[in-house]
Amino acid sequence: MSARILITPRSLTKGGHPSLDRLRAAGYELGFCAAGKSPTEGELVALLPGCVGWLAGVEPMTARALEAARDLKVISRNGTGMDNIDLATAQRLGIRIRRAEGANARGVAELAIGLMLALARAIPANDRAIKDGRWERQTGFELEGKTLGVIGAGRIGRLVSKMAAGLDMRVVAYDVASVAGLTMLPLEEMFAVANVISLHCPPRPDGRAVVDAAALARMKRGALLVNTARASLLDEAAVLTALESGQLGGLASDVLEGEPPANRRLAEHPRVIVTPHAGALTRESVDRAVRIAVDNLLDELQKLPASS
């Protein structure tokens, strides 16, 4: 029987991809979870035994799932985030982890700019009013001359900064290290000066929110917040309170706690725009990510001894 590789990203289990044929051509049997759905821990425990490779998405890769994967040698993400992986367990079990670095940056950055414009011009609300039979116009504002605060100046953050500069915005950034070509500010100062904040950083190691009640209080009244990174970066209760008071003018988020979310208070708020974790879901991003993820899988698996 051929060695197996498990495929779990929703975009691949639903629609497949030509790059997967390269895995078959290399002699691997492919296994899939339910089409278009993130697998549960229980489903992974059942699917992973016998798999030497795992082309993985955003599903939680828990200790229990990894410990069930007795033959697993490599996890290849079709994105860059690793906060959904129990890294300590993977390291203990000797499982290699590879990422599709940079593959999704353009798609996520363009969505962040799109969400920024949608908030500034109330595009969803104006569209919804017309479809509901109401002719109501909401006054927006122009982004020219406004200050964008970018938290996280990696590939996505730098692309967002470049696009925002093209809209004649003033861009300031915060990161753990200075980045050439960007005006870097301390986080507290950024919250105070920005008209729009866009999040492009990983979660904090201790799990604390980056945007909490204190951060929201520092922001200009009516400022906008865009989150295309991780839901855990926001203190959801504090964000809701700030929206209700008008301290926060609006939120646009591509990420929510639970996907789909069990608690819909934030998603259903009238000054919130939500998208279903679709930042990387462009034809180009998917193609790049799958090609890189397959390259990484084959690279790691070919390093194994013939008996592995």
Active site residues: 230, 259, 277
Contact predicate 277/259, CB 8 Å:
yes
H helix intervals, the chain: 10-15, 20-25, 41-47, 63-68, 87-92, 105-120, 123-131, 155-166, 187-193, 213-218, 236-245, 283-301
Q: Which of 253, 251, 206, 255 lies closest to 224 in space, CA to CA?
A: 251
Name the token pair of 45: 């425990």
Contacts of 202 (CB under 8 A, 6+ apart): 81, 83, 152, 229, 230
Alpha carbon of 119 to those of 131, 140, 300: distances in Å?
A: 18, 8, 43
- Residue appearing with tokens 């909401």: 138
Q: Is 82 left (phi over 0), alpha (psi -120 to 50) or beta?
A: alpha
Bridge partners of 274, per DSSP, are 253
